[in-house]
Amino acid sequence: MHSKNNKSVVVIWSDGFPFKLTAFNEKNSLLAKALILAGYRVILTSKSSPPCNSNAYFGIFEKIQWRFFIQNQIQSRLVRSMVAVFSEMKFLLTLKKNFNKVYLVGSYYPFTVFLFYSLFCLIFNIRLVLNIMEWHIGVYRNSSIQKRINAFLFDKYAVKLSKGTIAISEFIISNLKHYSHNYKFIFIPALTDIEKIDAIQGTNQFSFPYVLYCGGLGYAEVIATIIDGFEEYYKRYGNMNIHLVLILHGKNEQFRALMDIILQTLSSKNVHLLNNLPFRDLIRHYKNASALLIPMRDTLQDKARYPQKIAEYAACKRPIISNAVGQIGFDFKHKSDIYFMPSYTSADLAKAIKEVIEDKKIAFTITENARLKAETYFDYKLYSLPLHNFLKNL
DSSP state string for 239-270:
-TT-EEEEEEE--HHHHHHHHHHHHTSTTGGG
Domain count of the fold of the chain: 2
Asked if 66 and 42 count as a contact pair (C-beta separation under 8 A), the reply is no
Asked if 165 and 184 count as a contact pair (C-beta separation under 8 A), the reply is yes
**For the residues 315-330, what does the mean pLDDT come to?**
96
| Residue-wise burial string across 31-67, b where 16 or more C-beta atoms lie within 10 A, e elsewhere | bbbbbbbbebbbbbbbbbbbeeeeeebeeeeeebbbb
**CATH number of residue 35's parent domain:** 3.40.50.2000
* Nearest C-alpha neighbor of 168 from the set 188, 192, 186: 188
Name which of 62-76, 259-273, 292-306, 328-342 the model is least confident about.
Answer: 62-76
Whether the link from the prior residue into 18 is cis, omega within 30° of 0, is yes
Task: Examine the domain organization and report whether 314 and 251 are in the same domain.
Answer: yes
Task: Please report which confidence band the pLDDT of residue 94 belongs to, taking 50, 70 and 90 as the band edges.
Answer: very high
Asked if 242 and 209 count as a contact pair (C-beta separation under 8 A), the reply is yes
pLDDT the model gives residue 50: 77
Q: In this model, does residue 303 exceed pLDDT 80?
A: yes
pLDDT the model gives residue 377: 97
Task: Examine the domain organization and report whether 258 and 308 are in the same domain.
Answer: yes
Q: In this model, does residue 3 exceed pLDDT 70?
A: no
Task: Examine the domain organization and report whether 182 and 58 are in the same domain.
Answer: yes
The phi and psi torsions of 334 (rounded to 5 degrees) equal -60, 130
Task: Please report which confidence band the pLDDT of residue 54 belongs to, taking 50, 70 and 90 as the band edges.
Answer: low
Task: Please report which confidence band the pLDDT of residue 56 belongs to, taking 50, 70 and 90 as the band edges.
Answer: confident
CB proximity list for 373: less than 8 A, separation 6 or greater = 314, 331, 332, 337
Task: Examine the domain organization and report whether 94 and 238 are in the same domain.
Answer: no
Write the pLDDT tens digit of every residue in 332-371: 999 999 999 999 999 999 999 999 999 999 999 999 999 9
Name which of 27-36, 200-209, 293-302 the model is least confident about.
Answer: 200-209
**For the residues 285-313, what does the mean pLDDT come to?**
96
Task: Examine the domain organization and report whether 253 and 384 are in the same domain.
Answer: no
Query: Which residues form the domain of 238?
Result: 195-378
pLDDT the model gives residue 276: 85
pLDDT the model gives residue 321: 98
Task: Examine the domain organization and report whether 110 and 234 are in the same domain.
Answer: no
CA angle 335, 338, 342 (to 5 degrees): 75
Q: In this model, does residue 1 exceed pLDDT 50?
A: no
**For the residues 75-86, what does the mean pLDDT come to?**
86
Task: Examine the domain organization and report whether 285 and 387 are in the same domain.
Answer: no
Task: Examine the domain organization and report whether 217 and 246 are in the same domain.
Answer: yes
DSSP state string for 63-122:
TEEEEE---TT---HHHHHHHHHHHHHHHHHHHHHHEEEEEEEE-S--HHHHHHHHHHHH
Task: Examine the domain organization and report whether 201 and 187 are in the same domain.
Answer: no
**For the residues 45-60, what does the mean pLDDT come to?**
81
Task: Examine the domain organization and report whether 203 and 329 are in the same domain.
Answer: yes
Provide the whole-model pTM: 0.94
The phi and psi torsions of 118 (rounded to 5 degrees) equal -65, -40
Q: How far is 254 from 355, CA to CA, in rounded Å?
A: 32
- Alpha carbon separation from 354 to 140, 242, 344 (Å, rounded): 35, 10, 16
End-to-end CA distance of the chain: 28
Q: In this model, does residue 224 exceed pLDDT 60?
A: yes
CA angle 278, 316, 64 (to 5 degrees): 50
Asked if 284 and 202 count as a contact pair (C-beta separation under 8 A), the reply is yes
Task: Examine the domain organization and report whether 158 and 206 are in the same domain.
Answer: no
pLDDT the model gives residue 64: 96
- Alpha carbon separation from 315 to 36, 199, 288 (Å, rounded): 22, 12, 13
pLDDT the model gives residue 181: 67
pLDDT the model gives residue 68: 93
pLDDT the model gives residue 52: 67
Asked if 323 and 341 count as a contact pair (C-beta separation under 8 A), the reply is yes
Task: Examine the domain organization and report whether 178 and 211 are in the same domain.
Answer: no
pLDDT the model gives residue 72: 67
Q: How far is 167 from 133, CA to CA, in rounded Å?
A: 6
3-state SS class at 380: helix
